[in-house]
Amino acid sequence: MRWKVGTLTRSEDRALPASISDVLSGSVPEGRKVRIRGWLSNRRSSGGVVFLIMRDGTGWLQCVARRDVLGDKKLDELEKLPIESVLELEGSVRADKRAPGGYELSIDRYRILSVAWPDYPIAKKYHGPDFLLEKRHLWIRSKKMWCILIVRSKLLKAARSWLDEHGYVEVQAPILTASACEGGATLFPVDYFGRKAYLTQSWQLYGEAFIASVGKCYTLAPSFRAEKSRTRRHLTEYWHLEVEIPFCDLKCLLKVIDEFITHICHELADKAAEELRTLGRDPADLARVEPPFPRLKYDEAVEMLQAEGVQIEWGEDLTWTCEKVLASEFDVPFFVTHFPKTAKAFYHKPDPERPEVTLSADLLAPEGYGEIIGGGERIDDYETLLARIREEGLDPADYEWYLDLRKYGSIQHSGFGLGVERMVMWVCKLDHIRDAIAFPRLVRRRSSWSTTMMPMAYALVRS
């Protein structure tokens, strides 16, 4: 709410600037005159009344223009005004059960702030995904994308608030890096003044350096993966929320993830219920999430999969097909732990009781969504780490600084990385990861390269 109650101005008579969310929250007294500004996103007319569906970033509101109030000329003008034009409307608010959102604005006065061209390319009819990717800069105005962007924002807010309340320090590390973290095959090379650098795949190795300075810490940053597999859940640029925790073993890590994810789910069920419902997700699905999440060892997962007839040998990583099968058996997130060494990156700590498996854990989202978090204990012993780097055919010289961390005050530590779009995809019940982010970077045909790369191309033209 923006206005002050009980001031000595005569504001009662004047229309007060309000956002649509102010109106929809019921905080504007019935009959109160307000002024809103926004885009005309839809319109219909019936017998001397024009219904304008207005959008201002905070919500969507039905505004009603009546011929007997505004007169013929003005009503005709509103009837013809192109969709996406911008209006300032003054009127009084009233509760109306038939109106979407339960409130309606009766328009007394209006001012046109911007007249849109009459050929807005997105109509109410069905458009294919390629067309909507090409018109992404406009499609983000749709109710669906708006809901997703709002949920995404609330998700990140909930994540940050949990981390802040639990004493985690937010830090940043370079995006341009010299060495691989998750394996060379998915690296994006960049020419760095005649030498080769790479776009980061993960903040993790830096995170391990940070813990000896600031302790428990996290970052929220883009990670880049030149994924050749064109699945519905891989972007080439995605937002990665990574956490690193000193003095923490696998058991402690699972507990942190339990509580962290539960907090986010509960916050969304509470604070984004309307948006979730619009997207087809029942907020109760998220309210139901409670720690501890079910834990499944990799061995058990393989047995389950083989029993279902899925082709998998012990030692292989779980493909999406595998995860989908496993994730269909659960209706809450669950862990798969103790992956074999062969399925994980070099820094994962071998289980001292069974060195062929690692103290690792992935968190899988239910309903077939699959992995949203990857994490585990890191190797803290210098010799073990050096041996694993060599075993993977990596050059220890590239990891000199990382090895240093095992020389000077090395301790048991664990961490995890959450794929923000993977989590958004699950909570919003999306069928493709491209809609979990405003401007997705995908492995795509060249024909749509220029449009899916729109903001970047623009930056190049300007410079």
Cα maximum dimension of the chain? 85
- Containing 104, the helix (H) or strand (E) segment is strand 103-114
CB of 238 to ligand ATP, least distance (A): 4
CB of 393 to ligand ATP, least distance (A): 19
Nearer to ligand ATP, 406 or 422 (CB): 422
- Give one DSSP letter per residue of 247-299, joined into a string: S--HHHHHHHHHHHHHHHHHHHHHHSHHHHHHTT--HHHHHT--SSPPEEEHH
Q: Segment 9-48, which members bind ligand ATP (CB under 6 A)?
A: none
Nearer to ligand ATP, 240 or 341 (CB): 240
Contact between 260 and ligand ATP (CB under 6 A)?
no
Contact between 263 and ligand ATP (CB under 6 A)?
no
Contact between 372 and ligand ATP (CB under 6 A)?
yes
Tokens of 144: 């669906």
CA distance 140 to 429: 17
**How many residues touch ligand ATP (CB under 6 A)?**
15
The order of strands in the sheet holding 217-224 is 169-170, 217-224, 237-246, 413-419, 370-377, 360-365, 334-337, 295-297
Please give the backbone phi and psi of residue 216, each rounded to the nearest 5 degrees, phi first. -55, 130
CA distance 107 to 49: 11
Among 246, 283, 350, 374, which residue interacts with ligand ATP (rule: CB under 6 A)? 374
Neighbours of 453 (CB within 10 A): 14
Contact between 301 and ligand ATP (CB under 6 A)?
no
Nearer to ligand ATP, 23 or 221 (CB): 221
Among 283, 333, 350, 417, which residue interacts with ligand ATP (rule: CB under 6 A)? 417
- The residue written with tokens 């109306």 in the block is 96
CB of 201 to ligand ATP, least distance (A): 7
Number of residues in the chain: 463
CB of 362 to ligand ATP, least distance (A): 6
* Beta bridge mates, 244: 217, 415
Nearer to ligand ATP, 207 or 417 (CB): 417
* Beta bridge mates, 239: 222
Q: Segment 213-232, which members bind ligand ATP (CB under 6 A)?
A: 225, 227
Burial class (CB in 10 A: 0-12, 13-18, 19+), 253: buried
Tokens of 384: 């073990």
Contact between 274 and ligand ATP (CB under 6 A)?
no
Contact between 240 and ligand ATP (CB under 6 A)?
yes
Nearer to ligand ATP, 182 or 275 (CB): 182
Nearer to ligand ATP, 43 or 240 (CB): 240
Among 18, 180, 248, 373, which residue interacts with ligand ATP (rule: CB under 6 A)? 373
Q: Segment 168-187, which members bind ligand ATP (CB under 6 A)?
A: 182
Which span sits near ligand ATP by CB under 6 A: 110-118, 265-273, 298-306, 367-375? 367-375
Residues making contact with ligand ATP (CB under 6 A): 182, 225, 227, 234-235, 238, 240, 371-374, 417, 419, 421-422
